[in-house]
């Protein structure tokens, strides 16, 4: 499974150390442009060609991004996640940690099923 990361320059460097390509973005417009290049270039068949300007993105099956980036892309991200296509999107805390008040996946599951494990 191939991964691609969108986030802060520090985290992009860290992900490169473990073999995951990525790109750093500074604002919501850059984040939206990168997200569109990855998702709009993706078609249902595996091996779809994406722009050469994003090495590693052409075979991306899991797109990792920080919570801050996910907040910037909220509308685009919701639309993509409801499309039921690859790449899957995973949000992680940024360099400064979790965004206060943001639900975790475990919190959402607890809320949905009403059981605390």
CATH of the domain at 41: 3.40.50.10580
The answer to whether the pTM exceeds 0.85 is no
What pLDDT does residue 103 have? Answer: 63
Under a CB-based contact definition with an 8 Å cutoff, are residues 7 and 13 in contact? no
Neighbours of 107 (CB within 10 A): 10
Neighbours of 38 (CB within 10 A): 22
Strands laid side by side in the 3-7 sheet:
21-24, 3-7, 62-66, 88-92
Q: Which residue has the higher pLDDT, 50 or 32?
A: 32
Q: Give the count of domains, the chain.
A: 1
Tokens linked to 14: 């860290």
DSSP state of 107: H
What pLDDT does residue 83 have? Answer: 83
Cα(76)–Cα(26) distance, integer angstroms: 17
Window from 37-41, 91-95, 106-110, 112-116 with minimum mean pLDDT:
106-110
Residue 13 lies in domain: 3-113
């Amino acid at each position: 499974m191939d991964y691609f990361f969108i986030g802060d320059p520090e985290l992009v460097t860290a992900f490169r150390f473990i073999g995951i390509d990525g790109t750093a973005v500074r604002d919501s417009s850059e984040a939206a442009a990168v997200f569109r290049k990855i998702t709009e270039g993706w078609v249902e068949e595996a091996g779809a060609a994406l722009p050469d300007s994003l090495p590693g993105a052409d075979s991306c099956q899991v797109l990792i991004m920080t919570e801050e980036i996910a907040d910037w892309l909220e509308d685009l991200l919701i639309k993509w996640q409801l499309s039921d296509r690859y790449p899957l999107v995973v949000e992680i805390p940024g360099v400064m940690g979790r965004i206060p008040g943001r639900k975790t996946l475990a919190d959402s599951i607890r809320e949905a099923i009403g059981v605390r494990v």
